[in-house]
Amino acid sequence: MKTLKNWTLNQHTDHFVELKVDNRHLLRIFVLQAGLMRVLLKRDQRRAGRAV
């Protein structure tokens, strides 16, 4: 597992935040309800994630 060192806030709404990592990957974190979230990783900006 690699530490996310180079990231910026790419976009945000009331339901998710999206981070741009190493200027090529996207990490999107959705808030589903209190204490429950979904994480989506887009490697090279293509979907490669799964629900957590």
Confirm whether 26 is domain-assigned: yes
pLDDT in tens, 4-52: 789 999 999 999 999 999 988 999 999 999 899 999 989 886 765 554 4
Q: Which residues span the domain enclosing 26?
A: 7-47
Q: What global pTM score does this model have? A: 0.73
Confirm whether 15 is domain-assigned: yes
In this prediction, residue 52 carries a pLDDT of 44
Confirm whether 37 is domain-assigned: yes
Confirm whether 11 is domain-assigned: yes
In contact, 31 and 16? CB cutoff 8 Å:
yes
**35, HSE (Cβ side, Cα atoms, 13 Å):** 0
Q: What is the domain count for the chain?
A: 1
